Copies of this chain bind each other. A is one copy, B any other.
Amino acid sequence: MATLVQAVRMALHYGEEHLGVTDIFGEDVGPPLGGVFTATQGLRTAWNTPLDERGIVGMAMGIAYAGGKPVAEIQFCDYGFNTIDLLKVAGNQRWAGAGNFAMPIVLMTPSGSGIRGSLYHSHSFESWAARLAGWKIVMPSTPLDAYGLMLSAIEDPNPVMVLLPKALLRVRGDKLIPGEPEDEQTLKEMIDAPVGDRTHWKPRWPKLEPYFIPLGVASLVREGQNATVVSYGRTLPLCVQAADQLTEEFGYTFDVLDLRSIFPYDWKAISRSILKTGRILIINEDTEVTNFGEHLLRRVIDHHFYDLLVRPRALMGKHNPGIGLNQEYERNTVPQLPHIKQAMREIAEEEA
């Protein structure tokens, strides 16, 4: 099975060949490196930019204005905070300009903790991103979703941000990407650049098939009765793991929703599940003051206050200046499996 980062690479290749992608660019995105996570290795239209995130976002916007289809990368979301004004303009220019111009850009960036990243490779971005009106924001947690969401991000004529969970980039899924060879090793030989000299290396791409995951549609990863758990990104597989353990250990079952689209989000799916379980726990790892999970919680309160059996809740990262390098910091700053499991158990067990 492909890793998440291989899936992104294949999606970008499909985008280049079939969806009109004209430029894939960012710091170290082109040859020889093909991205610090290898997401852009071997792509026909990939090129290296100057070390200037503002220039990268501006270049994307300009390409879009002139009818191109850019996919820009911010190397780590941690380094995108000097571009928020530009992201706002990208999100508002169509509205401000009476619909004259669309803004079909894709911005992809690794987000979240879990790679021993210290302060500046551990930031989460979704709570900031969700505030950018005019944007759509997605965050896959599996390779297949990464493929399908990236294709939709490219296809959508609006600015779409693809947040890639840093911790899951090298994780493999359990479903083949349409067109992917069955054997991991074969795939690797076809599309991973060799270590060492790459001057003459060319990828051999599998014959990939289109696969669009519509924006705004969550994925129900586990079905159950005792509570609804909403998550995405790094914490999603931990929720699934916790759910499976709690089923095994105590017989509790959960609806685990992988939100996938952060904006627009799948309110239908959340709402439906709450009506079934009467209990909801929202989990992410972004800092807890003015967190996107708190927005979801507000919607829950707005619409389902009187449907809830117990207090709804959100488990988030601490409001802290950063995540320290020593793993003791990370373990005590952002939700880990034990925290998640405990929160899930509590909400399942609380008396209604």
**Inter-subunit contact A321/B133 (CB<8 Å):** yes
A297 at interface, CB cutoff 8 A = yes
A292 and B292 alpha carbons, distance in the complex (Å): 10
A134 and B79 alpha carbons, distance in the complex (Å): 18
Other-chain contact of A84, B81, B292, B297 (Cβ < 8 Å):
B81
A311 at interface, CB cutoff 8 A = yes
**Inter-subunit contact A298/B314 (CB<8 Å):** yes
A82 at interface, CB cutoff 8 A = yes
**Inter-subunit contact A301/B312 (CB<8 Å):** yes
Please, which residues of chain B bring their CB within 8 A of the CB of A302? Answer: 311, 313
A88 and B313 alpha carbons, distance in the complex (Å): 27
Size bracket, chain A contacts: 35 or more
Please, which residues of chain B bring their CB within 8 A of the CB of A127? Answer: 131, 290
Q: Can you tell how many copies of this chain the complex includes?
A: 2
**Inter-subunit contact B295/A133 (CB<8 Å):** no
Contact with B along A93-134 (1 / 0, CB 8 A): 011100000000000000000000001000000011011011
Please, which residues of chain B bring their CB within 8 A of the CB of A95? Answer: 320-322
Please, which residues of chain B bring their CB within 8 A of the CB of A79? Answer: 85
With most chain B CB atoms within 10 A of its CB, the pick from A79, A84, A306, A313 is A84
**Inter-subunit contact B295/A292 (CB<8 Å):** no
A42 at interface, CB cutoff 8 A = no
**Inter-subunit contact B321/A311 (CB<8 Å):** no
Q: Nearest-CB distance from A268 to chain B (Å)?
A: 17
A287 at interface, CB cutoff 8 A = yes
**Inter-subunit contact A305/B297 (CB<8 Å):** no
A95 and B292 alpha carbons, distance in the complex (Å): 25
A38 at interface, CB cutoff 8 A = no
A23 at interface, CB cutoff 8 A = no
A262 and B54 alpha carbons, distance in the complex (Å): 30
**Inter-subunit contact A133/B320 (CB<8 Å):** yes
The chain B residue sitting closest to A292, CB to CB, is B290
Other-chain contact of A82, B84, B130, B297 (Cβ < 8 Å):
B84
**Inter-subunit contact B305/A311 (CB<8 Å):** yes
A171 and B99 alpha carbons, distance in the complex (Å): 37
A91 at interface, CB cutoff 8 A = yes
Q: Nearest-CB distance from A301 to chain B (Å)?
A: 6
| Sampled A-B contacts (23; CB under 8 Å) | A54-B82, A81-B88, A82-B84, A82-B85, A92-B119, A95-B322, A96-B119, A96-B322, A127-B290, A128-B131, A130-B289, A130-B290, A131-B289, A133-B320, A289-B292, A290-B290, A290-B291, A290-B294, A294-B297, A297-B301, A298-B298, A302-B313, A305-B312
